[in-house]
Homo-oligomer: A and B are copies of this chain.
Amino acid sequence: MSSGKLIGVGVGPGNPDLLTLKAANILKEVPVICSPRSAESRPSLALSIVKFILESRDDEYEVLDPVFPMIEDEEALHIYWEEAARQVKERLQQGLDVAFITLGDPTVYSTFSYLEKKIRSTGFEVETIPGITSFTGCAASAHITLGEKDEIIVIVPKVDERLTPILEHADTAVIMKTSRHSKELQDIVGKDPRRKEIISVQNCGMSDEKIVKGFSRDKKYLSTTIIKFKDQ
């Protein structure tokens, strides 16, 4: 019996219509779906996006929903990752393909990258299906162009000391999960002398999506901020 394959499937920012045809076709057939949760008590957002496909299936499938807590402690996290990898490997060894679903795209700040390394290093096949990223979803919703002509786009997942020097050379900055650090962000961006257009999108692509001017401070939401710098 040949081994199964791990498939990282990007499910896009929130709207189920933003799944790709390829992702939808895989989720109609794959025997195991793995969908991490940040806590036992929290349902997986990625799973809710693909629910309409799973509910339309009339065959049997398994959902693995390991917990990957949002903690900084690498060693503690490692234990959770090992357990998730163990569960996935067990299915692959049985010849079953496993689709690991992830919000947005599997190569952009996704938990998939950790699992992929573990699984690939043990010799199993891994495939990645790209998804709509939160930032292109946000730009579309907010009617903002991320890049035109020679413009440089930077994507920043966390506000730290590199933000000031990198913004200096950027035309567009995408700040992920802004509500976590909107105060620091506002201070740094405020010091840049260029004219700016600043838009934040909360819960992009979901039914309660909200577009606000400036920075988003409401920690309830998944938020992305797009800053367009203008020369004058």
From B20, B113, B129, B150, A157 is in contact (CB under 8 Å) with B150
B residues within 8 A CB of A132? 20, 130-132
Q: How many angstroms from the CA of A160 to the CA of B151 in the assembled complex?
A: 11
B residues within 8 A CB of A24? 21
For chain A, the bracket of interface size reads: 35 or more
Among the listed stretches A38-46, A140-148, A182-190, which one makes contact with chain B, having 4 or more residues with CB under 8 Å of it? Answer: A140-148
Instruction: Say whether B143 contacts A139, CB under 8 Å.
Output: no
B residues within 8 A CB of A10? 136
Instruction: Say whether B25 contacts A17, CB under 8 Å.
Output: yes
Q: How many angstroms from the CA of A130 to the CA of B138 in the assembled complex?
A: 9
From B21, B106, B152, B154, A140 is in contact (CB under 8 Å) with B106
Assess whether A107 is interfacial by the CB under 8 Å rule. yes
- Shortest CB–CB separation between residue A49 and chain B, in angstroms? 11
Q: How many angstroms from the CA of A116 to the CA of B147 in the assembled complex?
A: 14
Among the listed stretches A29-37, A56-64, A164-172, A191-199, which one makes contact with chain B, having 4 or more residues with CB under 8 Å of it? Answer: A164-172
Q: Give the contacts of A1-25 with B (CB-CB under 8 A).
A: 8, 10, 12, 15-22, 24-25
B residues within 8 A CB of A211? none
Q: Which residue of B lies closest to A174 (CB)?
A: B153
Assess whether A137 is interfacial by the CB under 8 Å rule. yes
Instruction: Say whether B136 contacts A105, CB under 8 Å.
Output: yes
Assess whether A156 is interfacial by the CB under 8 Å rule. yes
Known: A140-B107, A148-B113. A154 touches B153 (CB 8 A): yes
Instruction: Say whether B157 contacts A166, CB under 8 Å.
Output: no
Known: A18-B21, A21-B21, A169-B162. A147 touches B157 (CB 8 A): yes
Q: List 23 A-B contacts (CB under 8 A).
A: A8-B140, A10-B136, A17-B20, A17-B21, A17-B22, A17-B25, A18-B20, A21-B24, A106-B140, A107-B140, A107-B145, A108-B147, A114-B148, A116-B145, A130-B132, A130-B137, A147-B155, A149-B157, A149-B158, A152-B155, A152-B162, A165-B169, A166-B166
Where the two chains meet, the residues of A that have a C-beta atom closer than 8 Å to any C-beta of B are 8, 10, 12, 15-22, 24-25, 105-109, 113-114, 116, 120, 126, 128-133, 136-137, 139-141, 143-158, 160, 162, 165-166, 168-170
